[in-house]
A and B are shown apart, each in its own frame.
Chain A
Amino acid sequence: NAGVTQTPKFRILKIGQSMTLQCTQDMNHNYMYWYRQDPGMGLKLIYYSVGAGITDKGEVPNGYNVSRSTTEDFPLRLELAAPSQTSVYFCASGGGRFQETQYFGPGTRLLVL
């Protein structure tokens, strides 16, 4: 009963480095989301996808890229890490229908120094 899994759990990056945050869900959900959570700021939507091959920007997409080649996977790419990207990143999935629950992964804590 895995639900939404994320890797890695924690990562330290140097300024300018790149990395990919992995997200996989086993609930056959069409909708997947990436959020970032900064202290005292709640969660902000970075990108979302309504199905394989379809992605769209959320509130704070700058500095990030996504792809969705399969229903299960929705990786988030940071190309040139900046200190402002220090945050906790959450992936979520849902059926996409009105009122439907979004299921969140355990998060990836990223520190950019």
Chain B
Amino acid sequence: TQLLEQSPQFLSIQEGENLTVYCNSSSVFSSLQWYRQEPGEGPVLLVTVVTGGEVKKLKRLTFQFGDARKDSSLHITAAQPGDTGLYLCAGERGAQKLVFGQGTRLTINP
């Protein structure tokens, strides 16, 4: 049973399009982190959201934490080929222990 469900698992779109990735759970987390992973490398933290309803922007990436702190979304505006990668959400549950979603593999075609 996956505690954090990400959707879609795979997404392939054209450069310039917008997209949204979702991370859903029935559990409440103290914080929600988004990571990006390149092939052959470890995940790298993009952002941490803490407060219910919080919205954070990182250039063309917008992250939102649900009001109940059970879900989150990542929206990319005008996607570029450099955005290609595996995007992982992770919920924090004490002692900095993270529970990861299964990931969304994003491909941006030129």
Residues of chain A touching chain B, judged by Cβ–Cβ distance below 8 Å, are 4, 31, 35, 40-45, 48, 50, 58-59, 90, 92, 94, 96-102, 104-107
Contacts and interface: CB of A to CB of B under 8 A. Distances in A.
Nearest to B101: A42
Rank and list the top 3 A-B pairs by shortest CB-CB distance, nearest first.
A104-B42, A42-B100, A42-B102
Contact of B92 (A98, A104, A107): A98
Contacts of B98: 43, 45, 102
Interface stretch (B13-21, B43-51, B61-69, B77-85): B43-51
Given A98-B31, A102-B45, A107-B40, A40 B102 contact: yes
B97 A48 contact: yes
Given A42-B2, A43-B43, A99-B50, 13 more contacts: A35-B100, A44-B100, A45-B99, A58-B97, A92-B42, A96-B95, A96-B96, A98-B96, A100-B96, A102-B45, A104-B42, A106-B41, A107-B41
